[in-house]
Every structure is written in structure tokens, then in C-alpha cells.
Structure 1
């Protein structure tokens, strides 16, 4: 309990950098510009930046100039841009090195392509795009311009999920047979009118929590699906505008090496008796030839998680593990969040260093391919492709 409370305190109140690091910050810092005033930005960028000597919160842009100014003041950005040209004005600022893009899914492609066109590295919220073709186009442009783009699957950078994969890769439990992943949110997490219920903006359960379940499945299996065997989804509401927006989905996938994957996500778990909010489901379970391993809270393990290993056989005992830091690593503290580990890796990559782990372009493209495949199987269809057209002669 003491360790838990200590983590909570440091997550909410990250230690300030030592004074000796401020000179280093001025010399090496990457200046981040943020598109929009998303609720997730403080957790993903603002608080982690306070403990990274090579990150400066430089600028923020929103469609409303007053909101941008207030957001900048509240979160410590040096500049703000607003109005109809606010996003582009931020990209055009020659002092911006990196663009953080947490805009609605349907705007990811357009503004990431524009940021790359402007010579900026991009930290891109997941899911990267509405379609696999758009993701491929982003990485093709980034490659031509020698720029870094990272799809922000933050959980991948934390020691907890990497420990689960290490157990599987060690061979201790034998070959993987089945992987099931659940990620749900209680009713009210995405209220009426939330962008996650907008088809045009790339909304839906398979796009939001669902893209995590696909990613966890592929990551732990160390392989890609070969087919979507079954898929079923329930629409957000019976209204025509929500006909293609899924509230919850279930899918069964076949993967390489005879692995079966079972996925479930729900953006709005109904309350018990209409009154009591349900606890979110955040589990990944792996059944193997010689036992099983399960992680509770793979999504935000920095608050609390546990890994349960159940080997089969005489004399084999069940054990519970936790992993908040990498053993023997020079970087990392027990209170570092998934986002802080992610920021460390992103900065390392941009600065030409080798990150502890990385989400490769092929990984992002494949993830979108299988999100689209699930939508094709359940009949809801892929989210609409962006109308933005990138012209090569504009480079």
C-alpha cells in the first residue's frame, strides 16, 4: 500500500528536474507543439515532460484562440495558436521540432501528413489512422523525409507487459494456444456527443479500446492474424447516424502457429441494476501447453498491476509478479508511467539513440489492417478515409 500511494503521489506530482539539468535542457531540448486541447495531453505529454531534460512544452493550438491561450497558461506551454489557421500556424513555426497529434481519429491522417510536410517529427495517438492505407502513406512520407513517427501504444513501453512477453518468449510455459484480451470502460466514460461516437471522426469501440486488444494480441503472440473467424458488434444506439458506430464488439481470430485469439471491448459497460458502475476489464490471458500467464491492468500498469503465472506439472507452483522498472536499467523509476517510458523512447529515437523498445511502422500498419478486417467481418465497415490529398510536388 505504501508503494502504491508513493507511485500515485509521484505520478500526480512528478519530481522537478535538478537545477543542473536545466542547462542541458536548453542545449538539447526538443520543442513540442500540441494540436488541440485533448484531455489525455496532460498524462501523455505535460507531466512526463516535467521530468525529461530534453523536452520543452513549446506551443499548443486549438480552433479557439482564447481556449488555446488558457490551455497554454494552465499547462505551461510557452506559446499558443488559435483560430481557423491555428494548427497550420503551429506546424509552420520554425521553432517546433515535434508535433503531438491527439486529435480525433478521423483527423490523424491529414494533420500528421501536414506536420511531416512541415519537417516535424510526430508523436501520434492511437489508432494512427482510419485505414491501413493511410498509415502506410504516413510512414512512406516519414521515410522519405527522414522523420520519426510513433503510434502511441504507450503500454508497450512499460516493464509490466514486456515482462509477460519475456515469460512467453522464455519457453517456460511452452507453445501459446490461446490469447484472450478484454478492455472495457464503464457507462459514462464516453458520454452522449463524445467524438468516440462519431463515425465521420473515426469513432467506435473497435477503433478506441478495440485497437488495443488487437495490438496486445499481436504483441504477445509475436505473430499476425491469418483470418477473422467470427466478429459481432452492437451499435451505440438504434439511431441512423450510429448505424456504423459500435459500442461493443467480440471477435475470434486465427493467428500464425495455430494460436486462437479472443477479443472483446466495450466503450460503455452498463451499470449494475442501472445504478452501480462496473469496474473496467483490463486483462490479457495466455493459455500455453505447459501453463498460463495473465496480466491484470495491462493498459495503465503504473498505478497497479499483477502478473499471475500458473505452470502445469508436479511441483510447479503458481506465482505472482510485478514489474515497475527494468532490472539493471539506467533509466526508469518505479513511479514512471507508461507515458513517461514512451516519451523516453520517442526522444531517444529522435535524438539518434536506440530506444529501449519501439512500435515499428509495419506494426502500426498491420494493426490497422486487422481492425479493418474485424469491421469487415461484423458488417460495420471501416471508418471513412480522409478527404485530404497529399501532393508530392508540395514537398
Structure 2
């Protein structure tokens, strides 16, 4: 009963707390612009921003003028920029905007991130940042050159639940890590033609959600893979696709990797688990299991932990009998992040706090830096290579030299 009550309390507070920011004695307001009007924008930035006293969503831009204006009005955003050619750039040219959230398809993010950085804006960017590791490296090179903050939005990393799991592993309570298993699988609900099935725009199960899984494996093991032992995939196509449609991307990917110290990692990602008996949808599978020499730890729902999660820690007593305890971590322990956060804070709210703190040159408990993002993308590409599907295509955008003859990227 307490679990159910807690769920509804967090849900209520998440919604109601958007109405009134909680003053924290901060004076500067950071104005954000949103490039793209994807449905992901409200939970990632618009809703979290309403409870952050230093953040204001100043403008939104989209190619579809009607959608752009409707999105802006719906969320009380002051400025809207529209037009197939000028909307995005007009937002980047706004001198009042200091930071940009880019909500575009994978294959478009390199171009508009490079343009945003060139315009002197900090950038919060959805994952994966780009179609290739080389493009990712160039993005961070430009951010460093310009003295700007660029963050790949691996939002799970900022929530107390994953931090608690990592702390338990590093405490040595369960002994050395032997294996890590990560599942990120969603039920088949709809398959609209082109939605997550466009090769040119960088789609695919391993691109869109596998990048989370490999990031999680690397983070919890505090190491990078040494080798791809195996990688398999299943191709699929949208139900509404024409008869001559040829699948070019993976719907499901399963991979096994070797890590240092004889650790084995396995991951399964699925954009649409087929219905059971053709009509009964499966439940999502969003779990992490870390097996150690002296026990095991599980975290369920690691990508939406504010809704609900449970950290199960299995150990054996002196007689060898297996026992376990269950922990929850909706907030950080006393002393972490100066005790910022509340139970209703989503991963994105914690992520926004860290992003703003970096811009304001304040301490952050965790971060995803450029090296981390580049290495992660390298392993995404290596697994695609192992499967014989190859990397997603490079962006056709070629950045201009700064000042007509500056840094060549």
C-alpha cells in the first residue's frame, strides 16, 4: 500500500510542483531555446524548467509553423520561430538565448549542434549525439574551442537510483563484478512508416536505445569493453510500409561483450516486442542485473525510476542461505549534491540541475563528458560492424571555418 501511495504522491508533486518554482536565492535566469518540436521536449526540458528558478524557456523553433506556434502557446513559451529554412537559425541568432535543447532525429543533430555551438550557445542534446563517433568528437572539439557546455542527455546517469547501485558495487559489499546484464525492451504498440525506421536519419534499435545500454554497462563496470564477442539482430519494418519497402535497420539487437577482469556483459534492446499471440502486448523490460562474487544486485525500471523502481541486493549469510534487501533511492544521501532534489524530481530534472550548475561553474555529482560520449559511440559503431549493418551515414553538413578562415574541423 505504501508503494502505491508513494507512486501517486510523486506523480502529484511532479505535476503540481511545475506551477511554482521554489526560490533558492539565485538571481541569474538562463534562457533556453528549443530546436524542434518533438513530443519528448516537455518531459525533457519544458516541465523540469518550470520548477527550476534559474531556467526560462524563451523560444521554440520547428519547421512546421502550425506545430511550432501551437507548441509554444500550449506551454507558455514567449517566442516561436518557424519556417523550413529560417526557423532553427533564427532561434540560434536570438542574442537573449544562452542555451539550446536540440530535439531532432539522430541524423540532424550534428548539423544543428555545430551551428548552435558556432552561435555561442551551450547545448543539451538527445542521445545519441550524432550518427558516428567522428562527428561526436568534432562536436566536443568545437564546444571546447568555444568554451561552451555540451551534454549528451543520458538522463538515467543523473538519478539517485543508478548512483546508489554504483555505490553498492564500489563499496565491495558484494565482491568483484562477474557479469552485467542490461535489458531495454519495449512492447510493439504502433509502427508508423519512417518512425524510428529511417536509416538516413540514424535510426535503429542499437542507435536509439542500445546506446543507453552500453553506457550503463560502461558506467557500472567503471571500464570500457575489450571485445564484441557476439552481436545479432532482427530486422523489421513498419506495419504501414509499402510492399516494396526493404528493411535497412535493426528492430532488435542482442550483444555480448568482454570487459576487463573477465567480466562478461550482455544487452538486449528491442524497439517493439511483437505481441503475444498476435494481439497481447508485452510489458516493457527495463532491468539491470549485476552478478558479483559475493552476491547480486538488480535495478528495475532504470530509465523511468521516478515512477517506480526497486534496488534488490542479494547476499548469503554465514550458513550460505540466500537473502536479499530492497532499497529505493529517489533522492541523494545527505551531503551529495548539497542535498539537492526531491522524490518527485525526474531524471530530467536532476539532469537539468547538473547542466545549469556546469554553466554556472558549480559542482556536479556526476557528468557525461566528451570522452565518455565519443567512446560510447565507438562501441555503438563496433557492434553495428559486427552485425554487418555498418555505421549510420555521415551528415552532409560541412561546418564553415570560423571567421572565414578559422578552425578547420
| TM-score using structure 1 length | 0.95
What is the deviation of 1:65?
A: 2.0
Cα distance in 2 for residues equivalent to 1:227 and 1:240: 37
Whether the aligned pair in 2 keeps the contact of 1:139 and 1:361 (CA below 8 Å) is yes
TM-score by length of 2: 0.92
| 321, 338, 356: which one aligns with 2:327 | 321
The question of whether the paired residues in 2 share the 8 Å contact of 1:176 and 1:287 is answered with yes
Relative to structure 1, is the Cα distance of residues 98 and 318 closer, same or farther in structure 2, using a 3 angstrom cutoff?
same
Q: Which residue of 2 aligns with 1:4?
A: 7
Q: Is the 8 A contact 1:104 1:195 kept in 2?
A: no
- Note the residue ranges of structure 1 that are not aligned, 5 or more in a row: none
- 1:269 paired to 2:250: no
Q: Contact 2:21 / 2:50 at 8 angstroms: preserved in 1? A: no
- The answer for the alignment partner of 2:20 in structure 1 is 17
Q: Describe the shift of the 1:80–1:303 C-alpha distance in structure 2 as closer, same or farther (beyond 3 A).
A: same
SS at match of 1:234: strand
Contact 2:22–2:51 at 8 Å: present in 1 too? Answer: no
- Deviation of 1:194 after TM superposition, in Å, equals 4.1
Native 8 Å contact 2:175 2:292 kept in 1 = yes
Deviation at 1:321, TM superposition (A): 0.7
Would you say 1:339 and 2:339 are equivalent positions? no
For 2:207, the equivalent position in structure 1 comes to 207
Partner of 1:348: 357
Q: After TM superposition, give the deviation of residue 391 of structure 1 in Å.
A: 2.9
Provide structure 2 residue ranges, at least 5 long, that are not aligned to the other structure.
none
Say which of 281, 284, 287 aligns to 1:280. Answer: 284
Tell me what 1:63 maps to: 63
Residue number in structure 2 paired with 1:110: 111
How many Å separate the matches in 1 of 2:246 and 2:110? 23
Runs of 4 or more, structure 1, over 4 Å off, are 18-21, 238-242
Inter-partner Cα distance in structure 1 for 2:292 and 2:244: 44
SS in 2 for 1:90: helix
**What is the aligned counterpart of 1:298 among 293, 298, 302?**
302
Give 3-state SS (helix, strand or coil) of 1:225's partner: coil
Query: What CA distance in whole angstroms lies between the structure 2 residues aligned with 1:303 and 1:178?
Result: 27
What residue in structure 1 maps to residue 123 of structure 2?
A: 122
* Cα distance between partner residues in 2 of 1:33 and 1:242: 37
Question: What is residue 257 of structure 1 aligned with on the other side?
Answer: 261
In structure 2, the residue matched to 1:387 is 396
- Counterparts of 1:183-222 in structure 2, within 5 Å, are 183-188=184-189, 191-222=191-222
Q: Please, which moves more after superposition, 310-319 or 280-289?
A: 310-319
- Tell me by how many angstroms 1:276 deviates: 1.3
CA-based RMSD of the aligned residues comes to 1.7
Question: Residue deviations 1:267-322, cap 9 Å, x none?
Answer: 01011111111100000101111111010011110100001111134266311111
Contact kept? 1:10, 1:335, Cα under 8 Å:
yes
Matched position secondary structure for 1:317: strand
